[in-house]
Amino acid sequence: MKDKKNGPSFPWHLAIAGVLSLVVLLGFYWVGANKFSTEEWNEFGDFIAGAAGVIITTFTFLALLYTIHIQSTELALSRNELSLTRDELALNRGEIAKSGKALRDQVETIKVQNFERTLFESLNFLSKLSEQFEWRSPVEDAPRTGVSAFFAMYHQIGHPSVALGALGVEDGDQIGNHAPLGEALDRLRTQLAPYYRTLYNIYRYLDESEFADEVYYNRIIRAQIPDHALAILFYNSLTPRGLRFQKYIEKYAILDNLPPELLFNPHHRAVLDNLPTPNATEAIGEA
């Protein structure tokens, strides 16, 4: 038992055993000194010594066995504690693994949320750009605005003076180098350039975000592009200024929803089906 104030208590049982041993020894000495002669006392001493040796040897052996028993018990306890420690460590590793997975999932969720927020803010900006479109026709009193302006600008590109309808070729680079087409797009550049640059950067952002579900987000983006804007995008991508956009047009099938009747010549369908053109391939490789 331990004394709470003074630490371990005094081993009284050992002190008592020592006192009793001393009393017995003195008793033997007194008896021998008073009852026996010197010769008997020597014989008695030899007897006591021999008996004591046997007793001491016996107690030593018993003490050794008791020591082995204590050590075996302590070893078993140590093994049990070690087993419990291993189990606890295994549980801790499991909890750490779960926490690590939960943290990775949380980080992934935050990445997706940040990606979606940026994407939808960009699409909202793209929509506002188209809402600001305004096209005044020389034969109409009211200007065309918003999506309706795409319709008017599309017909400007298809004007007889541009002669795209008469350009019945299947060479996209030849169409893109057609000077009247470049001039028509230059006249529309003030309004169209910000729109298509924003659309290009949206697809670039999608392409560089490898964790994103590209198919799902691509459908969302494509749904925001009016049909006449798709037609203008096709012809603009054939010109030197728009060649790099063909990379995303081909990869994300942006023009799959382009109605065939919006092509100014049926032969241009072959160009659409074989993007990117040689000039675009070269421009993409140099980027």
Supply 87's token pair.
């189990």
CA 276 – CA 284 distance, rounded (Å): 9
Q: What is the pLDDT of residue 1?
A: 46
Give every CB contact of residue 7 below 8 A, 6+ residues apart in sequence. none
Residue 224's CB: how many other CB atoms inside 10 A?
14
185-200 mean pLDDT: 93
Yes or no: say if 249 and 272 are a contact pair by the CB < 8 Å rule.
no
d(CA 169, CA 189): 25
pLDDT, averaged across the chain: 83
pLDDT in tens, 226-256: 999 999 999 999 999 999 999 999 999 999 9
If DSSP states are collapsed to H, E and C, what string results for the chain?
CEECCCEECCCHHHHHHHHHHHHHHHHHHHHHHHHCCHHHHHHHHHHHHHHHHHHHHHHHHHHHHHHHHHHHHHHHHHHHHHHHHHHHHHHHHHHHHHHHHHHHHHHHHHHHHHHHHHHHHHHHHHHHHHHCCEECCCCCCCCEECHHHHHHHHHHHCCCCCCCCCCCCCCHHHHHCCHHHHHHHHHCHHHHHHHHHHHHHHHHHHHHCCCCCHHHHHHHHHCCCCHHHHHHHHHHHCCCCCHHHHHHHHHCCHHHHCCHHHCCCCCHHHHHHCCCCHHHHHHHHHC
pLDDT above 90: percentage of residues in the chain: 45
**Confidence class of residue 286 from pLDDT cuts 50, 70 and 90?**
confident
Lowest mean pLDDT among 129-138, 216-225, 234-243, 262-271: 129-138
> What is the SS3 string spanning 71-113?
HHHHHHHHHHHHHHHHHHHHHHHHHHHHHHHHHHHHHHHHHHH
Contact 267, 169 (CB under 8 A): yes
pLDDT tens per residue across span 113-138: 899 999 999 999 999 998 888 877 66
The CA–CA distances, whole Å, from 143 to 132, 139, 244 equal 12, 10, 32
The answer on pLDDT for 204 being more than 50 is: yes
Residue 59 has a pLDDT of: 65
Q: What digits encode the pLDDT tens for the residues 1-55?
A: 444 455 455 556 556 766 676 666 666 666 666 665 666 666 666 666 666 666 6
Share of the chain above pLDDT 70, in %: 78
285 pLDDT exceeds 70?
A: yes
Residue 178: which of 239, 265, 229 has the closest Cα? Answer: 239
The dihedral over CA atoms of 248, 253, 259, 262, expressed in degrees to the nearest 10, equals: 20
C-alpha span between 239 and 171 (Å, rounded): 12
What one-letter code names the amino acid at 149?
A
Q: Which two tokens stand for residue 104?
A: 């990775």
